[in-house]
Chains A and B, each alone.
Chain A
Amino acid sequence: AQKITQTQPGMFVQEKEAVTLDCTYDTSDQSYGLFWYKQPSSGEMIFLIYQGSYDEQNATEGRYSLNFQKARKSANLVISASQLGDSAMYFCAMRDGSGGYQKVTFGTGTKLQVIP
């Protein structure tokens, strides 16, 4: 079974609008970390935001926020006031103890395109 599921292969958003990128995860661990990374067309992997499984409040980092719904095992990324520079691939990822604590497991990504 997929540990990280991103069901939106591609999304469009109008500049200055907000957009939500979906992510669901699967783990039996009580302690885990959820991460979002941005990958522009140039290829680098940029860490955006983190949510811990024990965190009661949703994480926020500037225009990025994470809508964490633990019971539903979802960790959606919300980008507010979209900018043209937000056009990129976005990967949801998780770090848990199953199969070892070392690796981060990535989803298949969502390609976001911001329209002027």
Chain B
Amino acid sequence: EPEVTQTPSHQVTQMGQEVILRCVPISNHLYFYWYRQILGQKVEFLVSFYNNEISEKSEIFDDQFSVERPDGSNFTLKIRSTKLEDSAMYFCASSVGQHVHQPQHFGDGTRLSIL
């Protein structure tokens, strides 16, 4: 069964550094998402992406964050000048469409640790 893949599974970065989290969505999916889960807390929406542009973003997704689809398969989340509070599990997800009845399929996540 096709799945969303994320790399790396765990990233350790010094505070202030830039980090890029990578995702390969399911091949026939058109909508892509990033979510964040701080340890022990619920999953929070960051951003959605369609047709090479951001379609929706949360208040968490400020200028520190950016997303890109550099080629036909990858979808990346860049975090500039990382802070301690950016430590979290980051999930990429994809869906066939934006209809409310279409589930989003999640990757296994990247655990980001900021030191």
Per the 8 Å Cβ criterion, residues 85-105 of B in contact with A are 89, 91, 93, 98-105
The prevalent SS among residues of A at the interface is loop
CA distance A102 to B107 in the complex (A): 17
Q: What distance in Å separates the Cβ of A72 from its nearest Cβ neighbour in chain B?
A: 20
What is the size category of the interface that chain A forms with chain B? 20 to 34
CA distance A95 to B31 in the complex (A): 14
Given A43-B89, A43-B109, A44-B107, A103 and B56 contact (CB-CB distance below 8 Å):
yes
B contact residues, total (Cβ < 8 Å): 28
CA distance A100 to B101 in the complex (A): 14
Question: Can you name the residue of chain B whose Cβ is closest to the Cβ of A42?
Answer: B108
Contacts of B105 in A (CB 8 A): 47
Given A91-B42, A103-B48, A109-B42, A50 and B101 contact (CB-CB distance below 8 Å):
yes
